[in-house]
Homo-oligomer: A and B are copies of this chain.
Amino acid sequence: MEANNNNPLILVTNDDGIHAPGLERLIEMAGKIGKVVAVAPDQGRSGMSHAITIRYPLRIKKISEEKDCSLYACSGTPADCVKIAINQILDHKPDIVLSGINHGSNSSISVLYSGTMAAALEGGLHGVPSIGLSVTDHSSRPDFSASVLYGEKIIKNTLLNGLPEGVCLNVNFPKLPVEQIRGIKICRQARGIWIEEFDKRIDPQSREYFWLTGYFDNYEPDAEDTDEWALKNHYVSVVPIRIDFSDLNAMDKLTSAYAKAIT
């Protein structure tokens, strides 16, 4: 996927919603590089993955419009935001899609649950180089200085060089001051799982309900080529994510297994 480096059109979105400081910082950052159109959910839509809105209609509202920066709120999910931006708001396809800066990590398998990364994947499906950016800090006011410094390098590099076909980037910034960051590391998604610990409670009508809580169990904490290792060792992690989920090696194995087993 190639990109345009001359006053590029930048589509910005996120999953924390239109009021998130991370969106504001990403818009600022993008505004120094090109023309920005931001279309973000009108409320927080974390953990929405690649959900799309099909049972309800979508609404969009223009919040502000300046010469090189417009901002829209959309009633849908992050994936909806990218779809409606490309189809109804933008005059032409954006040169890059940026999603974030997410408040909280999207490393390892969190990529599957992440609305931030789904928006980037949606950009990738449309053939646009796309990047999801997240800082490993869930607070409402993270320190974005390192994210901005390294994010800008990654965005500019992507605009200059494009991305391999069918790939978008999952970028995570460690929660550290700039001077402690050791650089950018290209990684793979660490293997692991969220260990759920449902918090069971009883409501005033004596009925059970459950809050989803849990912690991440990294299956390979010592693997130096993973995003989890990079983040723990003070690197910005960059994972190339495929929009094609097929496993070609498994295809060969299954083809021979099925040829023997069933016809």
Contacts and interface: CB of A to CB of B under 8 A. Distances in A.
B164 A249 contact: yes
A47 interface: yes
A113 B52 contact: yes
A240 interface: yes
Interface in A232-263: 238-251, 253-255, 257-258, 261-263
Given A193-B125, A196-B87, A212-B58, A188 B52 contact: no
A246 B240 contact: yes
B44 A261 contact: no
B211 A49 contact: no
B167 A53 contact: no
A105 interface: no
A84 B201 CA distance: 14
A83 interface: yes
A60 interface: yes
Contacts of A183: 263
Interface string A126-151: 10000000000000000000000000
A60 to B, nearest CB: 7
A45 B241 CA distance: 26
B248 A212 contact: no
B50 A84 contact: no
Interface string A152-165: 01100100110110
A189 interface: yes
Looking at chain A's contact residues, the main secondary structure is: mixed
Interface in A30-57: 44, 46-55, 57
Interface in A172-195: 183-184, 186-189, 191, 193
A69 interface: no
Contact of A246 (B49, B87, B188): B188
A80 interface: yes
The 7 A-B residue pairs with the shortest CB-CB distance, nearest first, are: A240-B250, A49-B50, A188-B246, A57-B209, A49-B49, A164-B250, A242-B247
Interface of A: 44, 46-55, 57-60, 79-80, 83-84, 86-88, 109, 111-113, 118, 121, 125-126, 153-154, 157, 160-161, 163-164, 166-167, 183-184, 186-189, 191, 193, 196-198, 200-201, 207-212, 225, 238-251, 253-255, 257-258, 261-263
